[in-house]
Amino acid sequence: MYIVVTGAAGFVGANLVKALSDRGDCEILAVDDLKQGDKFVNLVDCEIADYLHHEDFMAELERGAFEGVIDAILHQGACSDTTESDGRYMMRNNYSYTRALYDYCTDEEIQFIYASSAAVYGAGAVFSEDPAHESPLNVYGYSKFLFDQYLRRNWGERTAQVVGLRYFNVYGPREQHKGRMASVAFHFFNQYRANGKVRLFEGTAGYGNGEQRRDFVSVEDAVRVNLYFLDHPQRSGIFNVGTGAAQSFNDVAVATVNACRKHAGETLLTLAELQSRGIIEYIPFPGDLKGKYQSYTQADITALRAAGYSTPMQTVEEGVAAYVAELCGKAGI
C-alpha cells in the first residue's frame, strides 16, 4: 500500500519523504513536477517506491490504476510564491488540484492530509482556525483559503481522515531551490557568508527596523505534525502549524549570524553589537509589498494541542542554530 506525497521534491514534501523513509515507510509514491530539475537532489537520500509527474499521477488516478492500493495522500504540492500574480495558474495548481485529490480520497476512503497556509489570515491580528479571522492579502492566500472553505462546506461528506495544516513561516533543510521564496534564515546565512552582513527591511506598519514579527517554525516540527496525524487517522480538522510565539526578523538575524560565528569559533554578539558593527543593516521596505505583507503572525495552536499533539516546538534560537550547522556542513565550512 502506498503513501503518496505530492510536492515530494519540494521543501516540506522532501523533508516528509525523508522522515517517512527513515522510519521504514518505503512504499512511498513521490509525485511532483521536476521542470525545475535541480530539485531532484532533495530525494537522493530518500527511499521511495516510485515517482510520477503530477499530471501523470492525476491521469492514473482517473483511470483507476491505484484503486485499493493507496493508504494516504500527503498533499504538499502547490505554487508557494506569494508574489505570483497569475490567478488562473495559482487556482489551477493550488485549488483545483487539491479539490480533485480530496474528492478522490473521499470516494476511496483514503486519509488526506494537505498543506494550507497562514496566508489565509492576511493582515489580521488573530490567528485561530475560524473564518471570522480569515482575509487573505494575495491570490496565493486566497487559493488556500478557498479550498479550506470548500472543505468546510463538504465536511459532512468525508469518509476518512481529512487534515488541513496551516503552515506559518517554515525554515530548514531542503529549501535551496526556492530562490527568493526560501526562508529568511536561508537568505541571512548566504548573505553573511558572502558579505559578512545581513539585510533586513526597515520598519513598517508601526514596527521598528527588523522588528516585524512572525511565527517562524522549523520544518522538522512541521514534518512531525504531519506524521502525528498520519498515525492518528481518527483525528480530522484544520490546524495551525507554528510555535505559538512571534519572534522578530532581528531575532532570526541574530540567531543566524551567531550560529555562523560559533561555527567559526568567534565571539557571539548582541543585536546592538551587530547593528553597531554594520553586520545587520536595514534596507527600504519594497513598495510592491505594501498592503500585501504580513508584519505580524502568531499561530494559535490551541486546536493542535487539543488534538493531542504535545511535542514542544523549537524556538528560533534552537531551530536556526541546528539549521545553520547543517548548512555549514553542506558548504564544507
- Helix intervals (H) in the chain: 11-22, 54-62, 87-90, 97-108, 139-153, 184-195, 219-231, 249-263, 271-276, 302-306, 316-331
Dihedral of CA atoms 142, 147, 150, 156 in degrees, nearest 10, equals -140
144 is catalytic: no
Half-sphere exposure at residue 205, Cβ-oriented, CA atoms within 13 angstroms: 19
178 is catalytic: yes
Residue 218: strand, helix, or coil: strand
* Closest listed residue to residue 200, CA positions, set 242, 256, 243, 127: 256
Active-site option among 2, 150, 178, 197: 178
Active-site option among 95, 102, 140, 323: 140
Cell numbers linked to 118 = 497562514
Residue 200: strand, helix, or coil: strand
Query: Across-strand partners of 3?
Result: 28, 72
Q: Is 233 exposed, middle or buried (0-12, 13-18, 19+ CB in 10 A)?
A: middle
* Closest listed residue to residue 282, CA positions, set 203, 214, 205: 203
* DSSP string covering 31-95: EE-TTSGGGGGGGTTS--SEEEEHHHHHHHHHTTTTTT-EEEEEE------TT---HHHHIIIII
Spatial distance between the Cα atoms of 250 and 257, rounded to a whole number of angstroms: 11
Half-sphere exposure at residue 123, Cβ-oriented, CA atoms within 13 angstroms: 10
* Closest listed residue to residue 221, CA positions, set 172, 294, 176, 254: 172
Residue 169: strand, helix, or coil: strand
> Could you give the residue numbers annotated as active site?
140, 178
